[in-house]
A and B are shown apart, each in its own frame.
Chain A
Amino acid sequence: MNQPNSARDAADRADALPERRICPLRRGDPWSLAGVASRPLGRLCLALLWAFSIDPMEFSTFGSKPRAQLSIAHAQDLESPASSIQRVTRSRGESRDARREPPVPDTSKLALVGGTLWFPSGEVLTNGLVVIQEAQISYAGPLRPIPSDAVVVKVEGKVLTPGFFALETGIGLAEISAEPSTRDDSPGNDEVDPIRAAFSAADGFNPRSTLIPVARTGGITVALSTPTGGLISGTSALTDLGADSARILRAGAALHVQLDAPGLSALEGTFPLALMRLREALDDTRSHVSRPQAYEQNALRALRTSRLDLLCLAEVLGKRRPIVARVSRAADILRIIELLKAYGIRLILSGAEEGWMVADQIAAAEVPVILKPLTNQPTSFRELASSYENAARLHESGVRLMFTTYDAHSVHNLRQEAGNAIRAGLPREVALQALTSTPAEVFGLEYGLTLQRGSRGDVAVWSADPFEVTSHLEQLYSGGQRVDLTTRQSMLRERYRRRSP
């Protein structure tokens, strides 16, 4: 994403990227209120729902789906109005689209035997057993008799953790950072309105990206694929990187707002201007939410915010979708907390380079923080107090932490980021939580990443301490399936090991 890529190479800093091709504004998340309401029959359905006082968002949240659907793609292939009708006429427990492929029944059992289990709770158990069944962990604890029908994998002396959760990443949205034609993480055109709440990363997510296998080698099994640019960049997609094919778990997972120095610079604006536009969009949304019919009949005052954006922002105002705000300076952090609290919006801070200076206020506001531990420089005047100790100090004040690399190509280094947070004083179990259970809870990942019974069957098998730079990933399981760790890079390596000119 912006910051690391611009630092990659000196010439890039002096010159902007080539002009981008103009792309049409894409349709929003089809499951979302905005997506459904964007179609005529969808609007009819919404009207019916309102008539029966049913919250339409109940149908858009993954959490209410039956568990068997874990293995099928959501928020995809739901183009026809008919499917919208089906969804509202079926009862919640059995709402499945008949057109979609049935899920492959997974009855296999996998037993990982003899490893050292690092639970995000902080507990460490040597000589443990993990059994994964039907994509979920059915047992994790001391060794005991192994089910006779289980496939047994011996992992003695290895460290087992849940799969890791990568946040604020362009994974699946960008192939080559400097080539706009390979990117789908933004409208691709700077002229587009900086307010584009309805821009949905799910529409651009490419499960066949060559970056995904590389991410897996870092133990990553789940990602929040996140759009970039603008003031309101759009919504991210919660994605399962899978064993051999990645898929979207939930479109529209969070709405992303850019208020740090690179964001403001791209906006060619200032922090007050950004807040002014944000306030305007939220006020427009309030007006719209209070009288949606009047808006549709052109009986409401003129709103500057576009219709699709209003529908997306309505979900944010209703606390059904959080805002992830990228913000650095201590004063800016307090300001955005105050503003979004006034609108009753669920906030997650990202970056928060000077967060440690206002850690108590962040903790009091119960705002979780996504950060990059390897950040300690005054890169801009908005992050003069940037410090390696940021994570440790925020934790001491009681702030919930999550980690990111802020890029797409290097998410495999997430564990190194965590290791450096530990070096700077963060307790090890908190670093593990920051990569697993905390983001799973904050972003509503079904079944979570806890390594305990009931958790997703995402397990990483490490040669030793996963945060150590001399350790490596030996095996990875996603939903109980063994992940092939071959990458395009490893294929190149093998080709040139044999033949060198």
Chain B
Amino acid sequence: MLGADRCLGACTVFLLGMLGASCGLSTAAMVPSTESSGQIELPALPWQLEEELPLAYSTRTVALAHGTMMSGVGTIADSLIVMRDGRIAYAGPFDSERLQNELAPDGSLIDIRGLYVTPGLIDTHSHMGVYAMPQVRAHADGNEATSPTTPGVYAGDSFWPQDPALSRALAAGVTTVHILPGSANLIGGRGVTIKLQPETSLESMRFVGAPYSLKMACGENPKRVYGQRHQPPSTRMGSVLWTRNAFQDALEYRQKFLDWQQKHRSGPEHVDPAPSPPTRDFGLETLLQAIEGAILVQVHCYRADEMLRMLDLADEFGFRVRAFHHAVEAYKIREVLASRHVGVSTWFDWWGFKAEAYDAIFETLPLLSEARVRAALHSDDAMLVQRLNQEVAKAMTAGRIADIEVDREAAMRWITADAAWILGIEHLVGTLEEGKMADVTVWNADPFSVYASVTQVYVDGVLAYAASEGRRPSDFELGQPGTKIQ
């Protein structure tokens, strides 16, 4: 129950893997390699990490039979989903022969006739855990607002797994969440993708196999935060300059290492002792990881003109913007975004809360899908994350009223498959397909209805939430008024 039957061995390996990864370095990589097969192997540069692969789990087989399956690629009225070892073993039309073959002797068969089943929902933009509930001063950990560029900080280091918002999101059918630093800084730091099974540490919630992200911001927030203090940047032009300076510093830092690497190549022969490497700068290394594509650049940006400016800046320094977040004016430049394969993560109808959000329209998501831009509906809010299904239904409806072609599958992808693409995990989650992670949400009605509630959520094939048992309160909530004893 609640993750307890997850294979312990896998978790141990998982943790060991994290120790190196969480601080963005591998000590092993710092050791200069010795000669092998007659060639001198260059030492790996410290920020160049190997790709992490998700671990294999051992879980009991669970089959969900006869539900209406909405997978983002089509609807199957009488479906079968078999989950085994954390993965989906089968998902498709109900097939009794298949069920017999797939269901192990210790497996359980759950009849979900009359219910709906979707992939676990994905929120591409959240500050849960870093701006935790209750919003006391002690819980404001989302902005390292002491310098406009803090690429070295990591949202995972602020993350509090006891945030009461987390279990509420899970109970709303969300299984994967991208946790980001705030937008006070031009370069706010590294973000992390997590799964929502209740755990006591970030490391055991982290989505292994998901790339980290680099959070950047343009527009009003950084210039307001620093401008008020009479510090740079206080204008948009200042913001662009300070962002460029940071990336230039990263390129120069890389050059220092390349020079050292060059010297080292001849080192064993000509230099004694070997030259010591330059002083590490974890922030600049994070920027280099972004430039080299190892981590995905996610940019908070509202206005169309600023997004285009940011794309120019990305070209200048050779990084790719994976997605613009909030991006309420993305509809104005949707063809550019489509041709450059830049995604968009936005709301349905948030508007007018600041000047750069004044031109938000309610048909942005349908217009983006029509133009073949990968688009996601995000929350950025611990209340909104609890009704992603309702928000996409509203956006789909707004599109249809305006005669923009948008179907239920496209709307579902805004919170599943396309959201997964924005986070670089589209090969692991986001649809119900054989081999993908068994993150599955079961609903008591059509999820595009305001009356639909979640009945069950599976994370990696393990039951993480069941409406019949109720939401698991976080440690904070125990003994508080209104919290049921569990």
Q: Give chain A's interface residues, CB within 8 Å of chain B.
A: 5, 7-15, 18, 175-179, 211, 330, 354, 357, 374-381, 384-387, 408-410, 412-413, 416, 419-420, 422-423, 467-472, 489-490, 492-493, 496-497, 500-501
Give every chain B residue within 8 A of A381 (Cβ-Cβ): 134, 136
The distance in angstroms between the C-alpha atoms of A374 and B450, with both chains bound, is 12
Contact at B136–A377, with CB atoms within 8 Å? no
The distance in angstroms between the C-alpha atoms of A496 and B451, with both chains bound, is 34
Contact at A15–B225, with CB atoms within 8 Å? yes
Give every chain A residue within 8 A of B361 (Cβ-Cβ): 489-490, 492-493
Contact at B382–A10, with CB atoms within 8 Å? no
Given A13-B135, A357-B482, do A179 and B351 touch, yes or no (CB 8 Å)?
A: no
Contact at B354–A330, with CB atoms within 8 Å? no
Does B228 sit at the interface, judged by CB under 8 A? yes
Other CB < 8 Å A-B pairs besides A378-B476, A493-B331, 16 of them? Answer: A15-B145, A18-B224, A176-B352, A374-B386, A375-B383, A378-B133, A378-B164, A378-B477, A381-B134, A413-B349, A422-B450, A423-B450, A467-B450, A489-B360, A493-B361, A497-B402
Give every chain A residue within 8 A of B382 (Cβ-Cβ): 7, 377
Does B205 sit at the interface, judged by CB under 8 A? no
Contact at A423–B453, with CB atoms within 8 Å? yes
Give every chain B residue within 8 A of A376 (Cβ-Cβ): 168, 383, 386
> DSSP majority for the A interface?
loop
Contact at B228–A15, with CB atoms within 8 Å? yes
Does B10 sit at the interface, judged by CB under 8 A? no
6 example contacts (A-B, Cβ-Cβ < 8 A) are as follows: A7-B381, A8-B353, A13-B140, A15-B145, A469-B394, A469-B397
Give every chain A residue within 8 A of B119 (Cβ-Cβ): none
Give every chain B residue within 8 A of A386 (Cβ-Cβ): 482
The distance in angstroms between the C-alpha atoms of A8 and B360, with both chains bound, is 14
Residue from B164, B350, B390, B481 in contact with A416 in the complex, judged by beta carbons closer than 8 Å: B390
Does B183 sit at the interface, judged by CB under 8 A? yes
Does B77 sit at the interface, judged by CB under 8 A? no
The distance in angstroms between the C-alpha atoms of A12 and B220, with both chains bound, is 10
Given A15-B228, A386-B482, A489-B362, do A10 and B183 touch, yes or no (CB 8 Å)?
A: yes
Does B320 sit at the interface, judged by CB under 8 A? no
B438-458 to A contact mask, C-beta < 8 Å, 1/0:
000000000011111100000
Given A10-B380, A177-B353, A179-B354, do A377 and B133 touch, yes or no (CB 8 Å)?
A: yes
Contact at A470–B449, with CB atoms within 8 Å? yes
Does B417 sit at the interface, judged by CB under 8 A? no
Does B355 sit at the interface, judged by CB under 8 A? yes
Contact at A14–B335, with CB atoms within 8 Å? no
Does B333 sit at the interface, judged by CB under 8 A? yes
The distance in angstroms between the C-alpha atoms of A498 and B420, with both chains bound, is 30
Within B153-180, the residues touching A (CB, 8 Å) are 164-165, 168, 180
Distance to closest chain B CB from A206 (angstroms): 14
Contact at B220–A489, with CB atoms within 8 Å? no
Name the residue on B nearest A16 (C-beta).
B228
Given A385-B480, A416-B394, do A179 and B142 touch, yes or no (CB 8 Å)?
A: no
Given A10-B184, A15-B224, A472-B397, do A384 and B353 touch, yes or no (CB 8 Å)?
A: no
Contact at B142–A176, with CB atoms within 8 Å? no
Does B197 sit at the interface, judged by CB under 8 A? no
Given A13-B182, A177-B353, A470-B396, do A493 and B363 touch, yes or no (CB 8 Å)?
A: yes
Given A357-B482, A493-B402, do A10 and B143 touch, yes or no (CB 8 Å)?
A: yes
Within B347-393, the residues touching A (CB, 8 Å) are 349-355, 358-363, 367, 371, 380-383, 386-387, 390, 393
Give every chain B residue within 8 A of A330 (Cβ-Cβ): 481
Give every chain A residue within 8 A of B322 (Cβ-Cβ): none
Given A378-B477, A387-B482, A470-B397, do A178 and B145 touch, yes or no (CB 8 Å)?
A: no
Contact at B355–A374, with CB atoms within 8 Å? no
Give every chain A residue within 8 A of B181 (Cβ-Cβ): 10
B175-198 to A contact mask, C-beta < 8 Å, 1/0:
000001111100000000000000
Give every chain B residue within 8 A of A378 (Cβ-Cβ): 133-134, 164, 476-477, 480
Give every chain B residue within 8 A of A12 (Cβ-Cβ): 221
Name the residue on B nearest A262 (C-beta).
B135
The distance in angstroms between the C-alpha atoms of A471 and B221, with both chains bound, is 35
Does B15 sit at the interface, judged by CB under 8 A? no
Give every chain A residue within 8 A of B452 (Cβ-Cβ): 423
Distance to closest chain A CB from B162 (angstroms): 12
Name the residue on A nearest B334 (C-beta).
A500
Does B131 sit at the interface, judged by CB under 8 A? yes
Give every chain A residue within 8 A of B142 (Cβ-Cβ): 10, 13-14
Given A13-B140, A178-B355, A384-B481, do A377 and B168 touch, yes or no (CB 8 Å)?
A: yes
The distance in angstroms between the C-alpha atoms of A279 and B348, with both chains bound, is 44
The distance in angstroms between the C-alpha atoms of A467 and B394, with both chains bound, is 11
